[in-house]
Amino acid sequence: MTQYDLLFKGGEVIRPADGFRGPLDVAIADGRIAALAPEIPSQQAKEVVDARGKLVVPGLIDLHTHLGFELHRRVTWAEDVCPRSGVTTAVDMGSTGAFTFPWYKEHALSHSPMRLWEFINISSIGVIAIHTPYYVDHYGEYIDVDDTIRTIEENRDYIRGIKVFASSAMVGEWSLKALEAAREVGQATGLPVAVHISVEPPTLEEVLDRLGPGDIITHSYTPWNQGILDAEGHLRPAVREARERGIFFDLGHGAGSFAFDTARRALDQGFAPDSISTDIYYANVETPVKDLLTTVSKFLNLGMPLEEALAKVTVNPARALHAQELGTLQPGGPADLAVLRLEEGEYNFVDSRKETLTGRWELFCELTVYQGRIIYQNRRA
Ligand SMILES: [Zn+2]
């Protein structure tokens, strides 16, 4: 009798939500996880996937991306990078604001092959003209708190937070005004605020003072002077205090925001990011970011245990998104999962400053399932 649509046999399940790691078969029916058990007979499923020697993990969540958004007419699409990297949920981190969001929803979000959500930029123009003097000077003039709240209320199924730039390099003197407006929207809507940090002013302490539990710092391992380490490389006391009061720290690799040196020093002082994310877009997709599994592999080679690294791309970002049903691989939950291969060999990785790290481990994706449907399968012979 076939009661399942899809059955994964003989894989090693890693489920960061409850710390489980061990061999289990996983069955899917009607887009949900139907059963996990040591032995589920093949006859009970329409399609069987041999997962022996592979890891079966919840679908990965990339908390910081810019997908399907055109900058200088170059664009990286979700379908080109997410399925092949085990990602079933990605979050666009502020590419659009209240004025540009409706276009982005129609153009990208509504026909993404997997879940693609938005943190709406507090500036209504999003990132149009970003990295120009015009943007730096005028970012804050396009803040409209009421219109941003209205756009969120009309698009709750897509918009999961508010994004704000709080760095002089990005928005000149607008940082604190923008941050305060973002907080106002966050309080009115119950959504988290995610803050880009890179270059002072304001100081990181001034930023953290304006955040509450559940708010997010992204670019946690930036080598710039607004980062979590002081000039001597010591973790700023305000960072530890912020974590204790519930501020969430996201990686946001990006083109310029992840240095192995910062990572080593922070990890040595016991400060890992809560989530590992790519900040992927056209200028970093070739190098240094490539995709989420490459970013996770960098952490494995910096000494982070596999289970811990996987928690930072599943259950932890799910918590930041107030989406506890994601990233769990529990019966009854959505059938989002990835089949991965952990290979041992000699692999080279590059950070945002072109430093190379040679390591022994790399994760590869064999297959990705979104809501019970296979959206990627490695077709190697
Ligand atoms: Zn970004």
- What's the pLDDT tens digit per position in 197-210? 999 999 999 999 99
Distance (angstroms) between ligand 1 centre and the Cα of 296 equals: 17
Across the range 161-184, mean pLDDT stands at 98
CATH number of the domain residue 40 falls in? 2.30.40.10
Look at residue 305 and tell me whether its pLDDT is greater than 70. yes
Residue 73 has pLDDT above 80, yes or no: no
How close is the Cα of 135 to the center of ligand 1, in Å?
A: 15
pLDDT of residue 381: 47
pLDDT digits (tens, 9 = 90+) for 235-286: 999 999 999 999 999 999 999 999 999 999 999 999 999 999 999 998 899 9
3-state helix/strand/coil string of 235-297 = ECHHHHHHHHCCCEEECCCCCCCCCHHHHHHHHHCCCCCCECCCCECCCCCCCCCCCHHHHHH
Mean pLDDT, residues 60-86 taken together: 91
Give the rounded percent of residues in the chain with a pLDDT score beyond 70.
99
Cα(280) to centroid(ligand 1), Å = 7
Q: Are residues 77 and 149 in the same domain?
A: yes
In a domain, 352, yes or no: no
Is the alpha carbon torsion for 203, 94, 272, 324 positive or negative? positive
Q: How far is the CA of 108 from the centre of ligand 1 (A)?
A: 17
CA 45 – ligand 1 centroid, Å: 41
Beta 115-121 vs 87-93: how paired, if at all?
parallel
Residue 237 included in any domain: yes
**Do 47 and 64 share a domain, yes or no?**
no
71 pLDDT tier (thresholds 50, 70, 90) = low
Separation of CA 278 and ligand 1 centre (Å): 8
**Assigned domain for 77 exists:** yes
From ligand 1's centre to the CA of 379, what distance in Å? 31
Q: How far is the CA of 317 from the centre of ligand 1 (A)?
A: 16
- The tens digit of pLDDT for each residue in 17-34 reads 999 999 999 999 999 999
Instruction: State mean pLDDT over 339-367.
Output: 97
Domain containing residue 124: CATH number: 3.20.20.140
**Mean pLDDT, to the nearest integer, of 164-169?**
97
Tell me what the mean pLDDT of segment 334-343 comes to: 98
CA-CA distance, 336 to 325, in Å (whole number)? 10
Same domain, yes or no: 47 and 183: no
Query: What pLDDT score does 322 carry?
Result: 97
Question: Residues near 89 by Cβ (< 8 Å), separated by ≥ 6?
Answer: 59, 60, 61, 62, 114, 115, 116, 117, 317, 321, 323, 326, 327, 336
Q: 246 and 126 in one domain?
A: yes
Residues 11, 75, single domain; the answer is: no
pLDDT of 2 above 90: no
* Ligand 1 centroid from CA 219, angstroms: 8
In this structure, are 283 and 145 located in the same domain?
yes
What is the torsion angle, in degrees rounded to the nearest 10, for the CA atoms of residue 157, residue 160, residue 162 and residue 165?
-120
Total Cβ atoms within 10 A of residue 254: 25
Distance from Cα 64 to the centre of ligand 1, integer Å: 6
In this structure, the answer to whether residues 97 and 217 fall within a common structural domain is yes
Cα 97 to averaged position of ligand 1 atoms, centre (Å): 14
- Give distance in angstroms: CA of 267 to centre of ligand 1: 23
User: Is the same domain home to 265 and 123?
Assistant: yes
Name the pLDDT band for 294 (thresholds 50, 70, 90).
very high
**Distance from residue 250's CA to the centre of ligand 1 (Å):** 11
CA of 283 to the centre of ligand 1 (A): 11
Distance of CA 229 from the midpoint of ligand 1 (Å): 20
250: containing domain:
60-320
- Average pLDDT of the residues in 41-69: 97
Distance from Cα 197 to the centre of ligand 1, integer Å: 10
Query: Which of 70-84, 124-138, 161-175, 189-203 is least confident?
Result: 70-84
Shared-domain flag, residues 38 and 80: no
CA dist 139 and 36 (Å) reads 50
Question: How confident is the model over 223-230, as a mean pLDDT?
Answer: 97
- Whether 44 and 157 map to the same domain: the answer is no
**Backbone dihedral angles phi then psi of residue 234, each to the nearest 5 degrees:** -90, 140
Count of structural domains, the chain: 2
Verify that 168 and 50 share a domain, yes or no: no
Q: How sure is the predictor about 100, in pLDDT bands with cuts at 50, 70 and 90?
A: very high
Q: How far is the CA of 63 from the centre of ligand 1 (A)?
A: 10
Question: What pTM was computed for the model?
Answer: 0.97
Ligand 1 center from residue 194 Cα (angstroms): 10
Mean pLDDT confidence for 186-207:
98
> Mean pLDDT over all residues of the chain?
96
Residue 133 has pLDDT above 80, yes or no: yes
Write the CA distances from 5 to 119, 232, 335, 374, integer angstroms. Answer: 34, 56, 11, 11
Q: Is the pLDDT of residue 72 over 80?
A: no
pLDDT greater than 70 at residue 67: yes
